[in-house]
Amino acid sequence: MAETKTPTPMFPVVQGGGSLIVAWQIKGKKVVVVGGGEVAAGRILNVLNADALVTVVCPALGLNPEVAYRVAQGQVTHVPRNFEPSDLDGADMVLVAVDDPAASSIIWNLCKERHIPANIADVPPECDFYFGSVHRDGPLQIMVSTNGKGPRLASTIRKFIAKQLPKDAGRAIESIGRLRIKLRQMAPDVEDGPKRMKWMIDVSDAYSWDDIGGLTDDDMDNLLKYYLSGDVPSLNVLKGLPDGKDASDIDLFDGSFGFSVGA
């Protein structure tokens, strides 16, 4: 009897039970943190790194050294008392990190009534979102999430991934970001979008991480001269271009043949 083969799916198979991992932009938005202990300190650092406006609600005696430091430095606004419902006024996000399950649930329910996204530490059912284990290198952020099931394992996996990354990956990303800004200024029209995208892909594929990270502003300006033709020069050619000139202005030497080309 012939074996029946299971057909290969035409599209990706749905894997339920996950979370939607997104880069949440909270710059300039009000984040209320209830609590001032070690867990709160980690939450506060996370949202400060995202340029949020942070308000910490906690009696002064409940602040650990790190949170007390951020209060003293003016990095956060401190409300030195226990939580009150009015603390939610104007909040865009609420993070609760207190050792009081009953009080935490009350805050969670208040947030639901006001449609404010909230995270209640160590209580997965009372969380609109989770914090993962994050590797940070300048603009590069890599998050590993176990959907609240194994934070310690997430940290181990994150460290493993970080060791596999190229050295100075963040510096290369900063450079490619500056080049994209320059290119968009040079070719700002919407119809230029597909060509911009293709050329940036070609540039990213043409050079190593170290090469990209080492590009100076002069290098980028010279590189942009190739955009209209859609070409990407070798690094040796790019570095050989005098400021203010392009490939048609100079002799390019190919050592394998022993003579100048393009003269």
Q: 65-72 vs 38-49: helix axis angle to the nearest 10?
A: 40
| 3-class secondary-structure state, position 139 | coil
218 catalytic residue (yes or no): no
Spatial separation of the C-alpha atoms in residues 255 and 73, rounded to whole Å: 59
Catalytic residue among 92, 100, 122, 246: 122
Contacts of 125 (CB under 8 A, 6+ apart): none
| 233-237 contact pairs (CB < 8 A, 24+) | 234/206, 235/207, 235/211
Q: What are the structure tokens assigned to 9, written together?
A: 């799916």
| Cβ proximity of 47 and 93 under 8 Å | yes
Q: What are the structure tokens assigned to 160, written together?
A: 């493993």
Cα 191–chain centre separation: 28
Question: At 147, which amino acid appears?
Answer: N
Q: How far is CA 173 from CA 2, 96, 121, 214, 240, in A?
A: 54, 34, 33, 11, 23
Q: So which residues are the catalytic ones?
A: 122
